[in-house]
Structure 1
Amino acid sequence: MPKEKCALCHEYKDLELSHIVPKFVIRHLKKTSFGAIRNMENPNRVVQDGEKHYMLCGDCEDLFSAYETKFANKFFYPYMNDSIKEFDYDQETYYFLTSISWRSLYLDILDFVKNHEVYGVDLTTLEILIQKEKSMREYLLKINSEIDGIEHHIFFFDDLVDVEKSYPELRPHVTFHRGITSYTFFNKELNSQATITNMMGIILFSLYSKGPDEYWENTEICNGVGQLKAKNQIIKSFCANELNEILDFSKQRSDEISEKQKSKIVDKIKVDPEKFAQSKVFEDLKKDFGLE
């Protein structure tokens, strides 16, 4: 097999399959699921793993791996397993968040260039994204110690109490707590771009350019030492609309599940209803039904 260029170090090496959303998130999703997980692009298809691409060499994969483990142990598992709401962060947290958004941004730029008419990407937006990807890559390679003009924000999708009438049928708790995704989006009118990554309700927004009326409270992870609390978070941004887009997309795909697949799900519940009643899926379903 010919060696290919690593997306990060740009050296020609054997590439490995790299997860876009970290493997520890996918592993936890599978562990806490009742039955198989499904691909939301094709909800009738059962999948065993998350999205992967040949993009990094072994050395770059190993570089990212250490930061993933630290985030998993300091943020992800304490929040998921122990309901911890306060987190201390440092430069390593910022590095990890950069690595996650960079992977999506890199792949999305390739897709935008190839299918720019489909996505409606204008030249100005594309140039901004390419410049941000370069800045992030140089930071991740430790060529530079800072990234100018990029903000990382973590929003914890906690339990909802009061929502708009249309929300309950969209099943927001199941959608975000039982879902994973990562992609780049933009608003040409506001000249704003960002990457969103949902890690089972821990939602990362990486902002590349934002509008004049943006307001974020108790969400930002700076390139330094600080504390983040999973409460009293406020987002007034075009990014908030993307949460609605995810809900709408998930509802649309759920409606496309075939009768055959629905029967399989029901049959599995009938086999062990007690296990289902104790599952995280049922817990989130109860929260969603409680919104009605």
Structure 2
Amino acid sequence: MPQGICRLCKKNSDLKLSHFIPKFVGKWVKDTSATGYIRFNQSINKRAQDIVKEYWLCECCEQLFSSWEREFANRIFYPFMNEGKSEARYGAWLPKFCASLSWRTLTYVRSQNSVRSEEVSHALDTAESALASYLLGDSNTLGKYEQHLYPLEGMTETSVRGAPPNLNRYFLRTMQMDLLESDSASIIYTKLPGFMLLGLTGHKESNRMRSGRVAMGEGRISPRTYWWPTGFAEYMFDKVRAIETVYSSMDKTQKDKITKAVLDNPERFKASRTFKAFQHDLAMFGNSAFSKTNED
């Protein structure tokens, strides 16, 4: 086990392999897939058994994250994704979980791309420090660094023009991390199957988006009208189209592997959440859904 500086508490310690998207999410995606494998956009011609992880946190910080993940998994994620629930009550563990996701996305994306203006880098340093302070218990508030959680369901229609015909597969199956940056405000974007988390850093439309804001104490997730930032739908559609482009470039050998896996075990395919997400796209977009695929 390597030793180094924990990225959260900054203490020198033995470092654990830490997942950026929680491990239980990756396991659920793999277990409910059509073939039992997952693929990543960066290495589309290679099947994977696990999601991105690095030696990032010490044992103490890893356990902190694990306790909040367990609450989210058992009280919200599994009931929503496996049982079709659409309401859940939560406690102070949910803002901790959401802030931990945003912190992980922020630190990981920054580690992959360090080219930024001085103003943006300073703003992101401040956001990262504020999130870490809250996660470690040094602060009991997130201040302007609000967490907005959006549950996503299968859709059969939309009034938004230009929706890509693999949109439901993106909503219900895809994992993604990104950072939308500007000098005045940034959005930390973490996409889980069935959920979207926006970590705001002083966004001017935060009041308009308050229906999705995670309360600092007790609260409730339920069906309601949710608001996204202006222009966010088109940004998300671009992400969906990018996945379509990547999967279209997959080698024929890999496409044949997927086809063989489906033919060898058609019952698994029919029972998979991959197929169920595709059925939503088929109902919404008709035959144009057939040429778009998101995973094994």
Q: Where in structure 2 are the equivalents of 1:19-168 lying within 5 Å?
A: 19-35=19-35, 36-113=37-114, 116=115, 121-163=116-158, 164=160, 166-168=162-164
The amino acid that maps onto 1:86 is E
Whether the 8 Å contact between 2:81 and 2:194 is mirrored in structure 1 is no
Q: Which residue of 2 aligns with 1:283?
A: 276
Whether the 8 Å contact between 1:18 and 1:56 is mirrored in structure 2 is yes
Structure 2: gaps (5+ residues): 286-296
Whether the 8 Å contact between 1:102 and 1:133 is mirrored in structure 2 is yes
Q: Which residue of 2 aligns with 1:12?
A: 12
Name the CA distance, whole Å, in 1 between partners of 2:95 and 2:149: 11
- 1:231-285 CA deviation, whole Å, 9 max, x = no partner? 4323243443432232022111111111111111111212222331222111111
Name the CA distance, whole Å, in 1 between partners of 2:129 and 2:4: 19
Name the CA distance, whole Å, in 1 between partners of 2:9 and 2:89: 30
Mark the CA change 1:152 to 1:95 in structure 2 (over 3 Å): closer, same or farther: same
Structure 1: gaps (5+ residues): none
Name the CA distance, whole Å, in 1 between partners of 2:97 and 2:104: 11
Bigger shift: residues 265-274 or 30-39: 265-274
Q: Which residue of 1 aligns with 2:294?
A: none
Whether the 8 Å contact between 1:104 and 1:195 is mirrored in structure 2 is yes
* 1:185 and 2:180 correspond: yes
The amino acid that maps onto 1:8 is L
Name the CA distance, whole Å, in 1 between partners of 2:242 and 2:125: 27
The amino acid that maps onto 1:16 is K
Bigger shift: residues 218-227 or 13-22: 218-227
The amino acid that maps onto 2:222 is K
Mark the CA change 1:51 to 1:172 in structure 2 (over 3 Å): closer, same or farther: same
Name the CA distance, whole Å, in 2 between partners of 1:165 and 1:64: 39
Mark the CA change 1:166 to 1:68 in structure 2 (over 3 Å): closer, same or farther: same
Structure 1 or 2: more strand by fraction? 1
Mark the CA change 1:17 to 1:261 in structure 2 (over 3 Å): closer, same or farther: same
TM-score, length-normalised on structure 2?
A: 0.89
The amino acid that maps onto 1:122 is S
The amino acid that maps onto 2:130 is S
Whether the 8 Å contact between 1:155 and 1:219 is mirrored in structure 2 is yes
The amino acid that maps onto 1:226 is G
- Secondary structure of 1:257's partner? coil
- 1:112-158 CA deviation, whole Å, 9 max, x = no partner? 43xx1xxxx32211111100101111111111111221111111221
Mark the CA change 1:97 to 1:165 in structure 2 (over 3 Å): closer, same or farther: closer
Q: Which residue of 2 aligns with 1:216?
A: 209
Name the CA distance, whole Å, in 2 between partners of 1:287 and 1:73: 25
Bigger shift: residues 52-61 or 263-272: 263-272
Q: C-alpha displacement at 1:29, in angstroms?
A: 0.8
Q: C-alpha displacement at 1:210, in angstroms?
A: 1.3
Q: C-alpha displacement at 1:97, in angstroms?
A: 0.7
- Secondary structure of 1:88's partner? strand
TM-score, length-normalised on structure 1?
A: 0.90
- Secondary structure of 1:285's partner? helix
- Secondary structure of 1:158's partner? coil
Question: What is the RMSD computed on CA atoms of the aligned residues?
Answer: 1.9
Mark the CA change 1:124 to 1:64 in structure 2 (over 3 Å): closer, same or farther: same
